[in-house]
Structure 1
């Protein structure tokens, strides 16, 4: 199991939900996981039905088997103060910079600096050990930016290390990249069985691999249940005589074959054709994803919507599929 698991995906695919379910799935048998949010949306707090997360690691859930899930919403300004204290021992001077607005100014005009701080804080949690030399967390899961900018987000420290040739900034950037490009890390991509999210996932895989970043799994989210199997679709309702369909509907109590049941035939056939078209599209998108040699997992669309119970259900699905 990789110690840093980064979860990305096109907007609307449910990457935050998958990251949260993954944190629960990995926190089994007494393990501790840390779920890190870097976009400031407080999506994790909403999913776990808790108050907004502060800039501190807080326990938010207990997994089956006694595992614990902690969460951290990284604030770039406070992360910069940590950074200044860690490497330059600024202490009160750093807090004075914040009061003067210098910290906010720096993180606003230099988006790259913001990403350095976010990735650096997550990697620090990965490397941190207690007094006995044991890792503080068995696994850190990052709810990362969308697929379109995930490669640049993760690779920003490479650029910083190239700009700062020596000194603590250079050393810190290199240390972060050693974690991000090591077997300790996996970048998972969340998608839907739709053309645009799948294409963005394929592009993301290519970009991550070109940058030397480790791609982990593809997780297909919100998969609708199969109502008809391939044999039923091959038979096709269109090939069944309309009178036979009407009689079957009438036998089910939906009116006489020439009455209400007869009027249901056309809508039923239209719905069947729509389902067959979607089934074929989803099959084609699965095939596209399967071409890249990555483990492929599917999570169901929850009919009753997503609540805390649904999150645990998705975590169970992941464990059953070998993600643990």
Structure 2
């Protein structure tokens, strides 16, 4: 399956948490994954309840079966110093540029430079090999920008390659773009069963396909349990029958309880109808759709491990089927 797993999604859908769970799922059975953060929010550190991540790859979790999850919070300034050393052998001269503020200027003002550095660093981690010729990481999972920016973020190297038509910048941008558009990459989108996130997911998939970027899976997060069976929703519950059931259960003042319970049932019925419609929209997008249950006790590290188990159980760590026509 794809070695670079890019995770995007509308803000508030739990994108970072899903990316962390995916990294854990992929590391199961002795594999090694790298979880990369590119937005500078230290979201990975919060998910794993650790200190803010420095610039460097550090082990943050052990997966079932002895696998390892490493994390990297990419600093654009330091990534640019790496780039200058790698291609131009600037060394101390690059550090002098940093002291002068030139590095900060380049990463904040120059169009696209920051995103080129972020995607380039992730691509380098995907391709890196040890002395025995084996990949250092089996998979790299990128906690990427939100859906509204993901296509521009991933496609910036195309623009840079067009601007710089020769030299190392051109070749580096072409190399990164080749990886991003290849079967080695999959862009997954995290959503909720709500109208706005689903619409943004549909728009994001259309934009990714238009840019020639490989769309992976749709991961529906925070799915609530279904307290009522579909048959009950369709037929409804007569008030008299509910009052009789409450009385038989030994509850006092059944006639007082029945009204609020029926109101809750109607509210759930409306939400169920909305979620059913959104599921149908997601299915129509032609990509595999997977659902992750809402954590009943809130999101903590134990819940992330449970999510990783859910992902493996649903086949998310297996090869993605070809696009449905």
User: TM-score, structure 2 length as denominator?
Assistant: 0.96
Q: Which residue is 2:244 aligned to?
A: 247
Q: Which residue is 1:304 aligned to?
A: 297
RMSD value, Cα? 0.7
Q: Deviations over 1:164-202 (max 9, x none)?
A: 000000000000001000000000000000000000000
Q: Which residue is 2:85 aligned to?
A: 85
- Measured after TM superposition, the shift of residue 243 of structure 1 is 2.5
- Measured after TM superposition, the shift of residue 142 of structure 1 is 0.1
Q: Deviations over 1:57-110 (max 9, x none)?
A: 000000001100000000000000000111111100100111111111111112
- Measured after TM superposition, the shift of residue 111 of structure 1 is 4.4
Q: Deviations over 1:117-147 (max 9, x none)?
A: 0000000000111111100100000000000
Q: Which residue is 2:60 aligned to?
A: 60
Partner SS state of residue 136, structure 1: coil
Q: Give the Cα–Cα distance (whole angstroms) in 2 for the partners of residues 21 and 14 of structure 1.
A: 11
Q: Give the Cα–Cα distance (whole angstroms) in 1 for the partners of residues 244 and 89 of structure 2.
A: 83
Determine whether 1:103 maps to 2:100.
Answer: no
For 1:1-324, what aligned pairs fall within 5 Å after superposition? 1-237=1-237, 240=238, 242-255=239-252, 260-324=253-317
Q: Give the Cα–Cα distance (whole angstroms) in 2 for the partners of residues 222 and 269 of structure 1.
A: 25
- Structure 1 residue runs without a partner (length 5+): none
Q: Give the Cα–Cα distance (whole angstroms) in 2 for the partners of residues 196 and 287 of structure 1.
A: 15
Moved over 3 A (4+): none
Q: Give the Cα–Cα distance (whole angstroms) in 1 for the partners of residues 251 and 98 of structure 2.
A: 71
- Measured after TM superposition, the shift of residue 253 of structure 1 is 2.1
- Give the paired residue count: 317
- Measured after TM superposition, the shift of residue 223 of structure 1 is 0.1
Q: Deviations over 1:217-243 (max 9, x none)?
A: 000000000111211111112xx1x22
Q: Which residue is 2:321 aligned to?
A: none
